[in-house]
Amino acid sequence: MNKKQLQSEQTKKRIVDAARALFVQKGYKATSIEDIVAATGSSKGNIYYHFKSKEGLFLTLLEDWDREWDVQWSQKEAQYTSVAEKLYGMTDHLVRDDMNHPLTKASDEFFNSDEISPEGEERIAQLVENHLQFFRKLISQGIENQEFKSENVEHVAITLESLFLGLSQMARKLTLDEALALYQSAIGVFLHGMVKKSA
Amino acid sequence: MNKKQLQSEQTKKRIVDAARALFVQKGYKATSIEDIVAATGSSKGNIYYHFKSKEGLFLTLLEDWDREWDVQWSQKEAQYTSVAEKLYGMTDHLVRDDMNHPLTKASDEFFNSDEISPEGEERIAQLVENHLQFFRKLISQGIENQEFKSENVEHVAITLESLFLGLSQMARKLTLDEALALYQSAIGVFLHGMVKKSA
DNA sequence: AAACATACTGAACGTTCATTCTGTATCTTA
DNA sequence: TAAGATACAGAATGAACGTTCAGTATGTTT
């Protein structure tokens, strides 16, 4: 790699890092390209040289984030035996991660915004699909284990994804400890239900 | 009530109805005051005469909607005996309602947007609090009944609200029937859990 | 070193919108 | 019927922002 390519990668990284920090702090819409310019020292034109659009930049961030999360999780996963334990462990990991690197708020805002290009929709759908894939796998595993009831895997996966999606929005004003307690409690309900004697 | 007050109420209603339809169709941000002007025949100035701001108008809509929903529900509630049945019935009612008068999309967008005034925050918090209140009551009832386990009511209420919040976002591209099936399945999990033999 | 490609600059553009303001019409009240 | 209040009109304002583009600089290749 020659000097120019190296330089280029470094600036790209500078942009990505600054953008991530800003999106986390201020949310998607409230972070302007101008803000990113101010934070990087790079120019507007340069940002558009490296990224197709603000949306594209943001989506890149989300995709990177998910990828990193997967890597970290797969390192931790081995230490859990039952699927129930995995779920608790994953939740713990997720909450701690969401509270520190939370593109969560920005991404909820982004998902629910109405200025998303068709390409953006596509990339979001892919992200969601990855999450569902993850949950499907976990649930199937639980069923094969005889640990879980044999329910409709697709429905349960969407239910789990919905639960986490909703929790992340409800937990925004909570402290880390409160959030942890809430999430663990929610997983408890997911696992054992609310009805006293289950069939 | 004299002629002028009557006239005034009618225009206000025209605005509210048109705005609701537009917000439902296009979402919050994408609905401009101009759109509402076009749909009502009223002028911009007049809309601002009747409503403090776009945000205020929207919040009014949400509050009305919740109030109407409560009224409708309390008429239906009597027909269910167990809390579990109530939950299923409520979900059914909710899904059918959400699919027809769905400010759902717009309100998710609005909640997650970043241009909310302090007063708006306050009114949203109140709406959420009402939902939680509703769920707390339901859950407490289940516990008193001996129908539900004696869990942390607050956590379970937030869990339920989160679940519905998440589901409404995940169910957007589904048909009514698919959504109904998903919601019912989710309630099943909420009631009975996924683990095979519950304690 | 000349030709070329890549990286970068920043002013200008274009559009979108909520909100305000000045003025006018309609109705009520004294 | 005159004075006052209420309801309504719609042009003007003004700020925010993402994106583009013509041009410059820096590094690479021949």
Written as tens digits, the pLDDT of chain B (199 aa) is 787 788 899 999 999 999 999 999 899 999 999 999 999 999 999 999 999 999 999 999 999 999 999 999 999 999 999 999 999 999 999 998 876 556 788 888 998 888 899 999 999 999 999 999 999 999 999 999 999 999 999 999 999 999 999 999 999 889 999 999 999 999 999 999 999 875 4
Please tell me the distance from the alpha carbon of residue A157 to that of residue A139, in angstroms, as a whole number. 7
For residue A197, give the chain B residue with the closest CA: B198
Exposed/middle/buried for residue B48 (C-beta within 10 Å: 0-12, 13-18, 19+): middle
Which SS3 state, helix, strand or coil, does residue B182 take? Answer: helix
Question: CA geometry: angle at A104 spanning A98 and A107, to 5°?
Answer: 160
Of B113, B156, B197, the CB nearest to A189: B156
Structure confidence by residue, pLDDT tens digits, A34-71: 999 999 999 999 999 999 999 999 999 999 999 999 99
Give the three-class secondary structure for B113.
coil
Could you state, in order of their start, the residue ranges of all structural domains in chain A? 1-51, 54-192
Note the pLDDT tens digit of each residue in A149-166: 999 999 999 999 999 999
Q: What is the 3-state secondary structure (H, E, C) of B22-90?
A: HHHHHCCCCCCHHHHHHHHCCCHHHHHHHCCCHHHHHHHHHHHHHHHHHHHHHHHHCCCCCHHHHHHHH
Specify whether domain A54-192 bears CATH 3.40.640.10. no
B2 min Cα distance to partner chain A (Å): 43
B1-51 against B58-192: fold identical: no
Give the confidence band of A101 by pLDDT, cuts at 50, 70, 90: low
| Cβ contact B7 with chain C strand, < 7 A | yes
The amino acid at B128? V
A31: nearest CA partner in chain B? B114
* Residue B16: both structure tokens together: 């509210």
DSSP conformation class of B196: S
**CATH code reported for the domain at B58-192:** 1.10.357.10
Amino acid at B58: F
pLDDT at B102: 61
CATH class of the structural domain B1-51: mainly alpha
Q: Identify the band that residue A173 occupies on the pLDDT scale cut at 50, 70 and 90.
A: confident
